[in-house]
Structure 1
Amino acid sequence: MKRIESVTRPEALQALAHPLRVQILERLREPASAATVARDLRVPRQRVNYHLKELEKARLVRLVGERRSGNFIETLYEPVARTFVVSPRVAWAHPRRAVAMAEQFSLEQLVLLGERLQRDAAVLLDRAAFEGEQIASASVEAEVRFATAQDRAEFMKAYLAALGPLLKKYGTAGGAPYRVLLSVYPDPEGEPRE
């Protein structure tokens, strides 16, 4: 089972929109049958079975085996991943967004970095929640105002110049890998100050 799956298909997003399906996916951290999930969630087996079939059609769960329970043979399911993260791109159906991203490379990179950050954070959160791992992390957010495009360009130039020596001084070929990000973009809700 994969650790994380990005939901990029509209049919998968639609399948995840039902709260019972999300509960079923959470319950399937270990392979289980519709009857087992129904007992645990205290809902009728037929309802769970219906939603499992919808999750299977959306390729969010898969069959992993069978087991005999009395006179019945139960089908066992598991999710295709431990965690699902909804890609923002799945909800962006308007073609103008695709054109804007294709024409503005740094804006496209911002969207892709945001998606990667969301995926990485979900994996680390699962490691902390389900494996008890202490995650060494830090985040910094700052607001800076640039009077001109030239000021913004100079800031990026100075930042990159300062970052190089830091990476060289503290970075090593061995050791635990960490990711360092910086994004500079206009605050979508901010108003310019005079």
Structure 2
Amino acid sequence: MFEVGVIEEAGAAEVALDPVRARLLQLLAEPHSATGLAAIVGLPRQKVNYHLKTLEAHGLVELVEERRKGNVTERVLRATAASFVISPIALAAVQPDPARSPDRLSARWLLALAARLVKETGQLISGAAKAGKPVATFALDGTVRFASAADRAAFAQELTAAVTELVSRYHDEQAPGGREHRVIVAIHPSIRNAESSGTESKGS
């Protein structure tokens, strides 16, 4: 089972977004049978089995083993990934395109870049899985606390200069057998939730 699975098919996305099936996918991070799941979610086994077959048909769950109990064969399934992300490919007609309005200061442009990152990384993972090869990637994730908006702007300028210098140093348009790599650097305000802030949220 993978840590993250990418859903690229519209039908699979529709199936995964159903509340009951999403709950089953969550539970199937660990192997379960239809009978065991029915007891947890409070639904008839036949209905749970129907949902499981639908999930399996779209490659979201897989067979782990079959157990023989008397005259009945019990199928034990698990999700193909511990979590899932839906690629913009699943909504091909309306997927974001960063090239339409490139604005480095626009949060919506950043969102379009993130969507493209999900799409292209998903395609790389799918292609590498078929070829039986790993994907060469690298990422940084960190936090910086700015004292002022002016400091944030200065940081962005210095970061832009540093990345531009690195790209200029290593980019070789004429390198035989070379392969282009996408470079994305982003800055956005952190979102503080109840867990990260150490406080409890109160419902209205």
When normalised by structure 2's length, the TM-score is 0.54
Match of 2:60 in 1: 60
Pair 1:32–1:159, CA change in 2 (3 A): same
**CA deviation digits over 1:148-193, x for unaligned, max 9?**
xxxxx976653437989xxxxxxxxxxxxxxx962379xxxxxxxx
Shift of 1:7: 1.1
Letter in 1 for 2:62: R
Q: Which one of the candidate residues 167, 182, 188 is aligned to 2:185?
A: 182
Superposed, 1:27-42 pairs within 5 Å as: 27-42=27-42
Shift of 1:110: 4.8
Letter in 2 for 1:24: L
When normalised by structure 1's length, the TM-score is 0.56
Match of 1:131 in 2: none
**CA deviation digits over 1:15-34, x for unaligned, max 9?**
11211101111111221111
Letter in 2 for 1:111: A
**CA deviation digits over 1:81-126, x for unaligned, max 9?**
111112234224248x56x75997x977553346689xxxxxxxxx
Letter in 2 for 1:77: L
Shift of 1:56: 0.9
* 3-state SS of paired residue (1:160): helix
**CA deviation digits over 1:125-153, x for unaligned, max 9?**
xxxxxxxxxxxx63348878xxxxxxxx9
Q: Is the 8 A contact 2:89 2:119 kept in 1?
A: no
Match of 1:72 in 2: 72
Q: Which one of the candidate residues 149, 160, 164 is aligned to 2:163?
A: 160
Match of 2:116 in 1: 112
CA distance in 2, matches of 1:85, 1:66: 29
CA distance in 2, matches of 1:65, 1:24: 18
Pair 1:78–1:160, CA change in 2 (3 A): same
* 3-state SS of paired residue (2:32): coil
* Superposition RMSD in Å: 4.1
CA distance in 1, matches of 2:145, 2:51: 41
Instruction: Give unpaired runs (5+ residues) of structure 2.
Output: 122-140, 151-155, 168-182, 189-204
Letter in 1 for 2:163: L
Pair 1:16–1:141, CA change in 2 (3 A): farther
Q: Aligned pair count? A: 143
CA distance in 1, matches of 2:144, 2:10: 33
Instruction: Give unpaired runs (5+ residues) of structure 1.
Output: 118-136, 145-152, 165-179, 186-194
* 3-state SS of paired residue (1:91): helix
Pair 1:10–1:47, CA change in 2 (3 A): same
CA distance in 2, matches of 1:181, 1:140: 17
Matched, 1:4 2:4: yes
Matched, 1:87 2:87: yes
Shift of 1:77: 0.9
Q: Is the 8 A contact 2:9 2:89 kept in 1?
A: no
**CA deviation digits over 1:39-81, x for unaligned, max 9?**
1111100110010011011110112211123432101111111
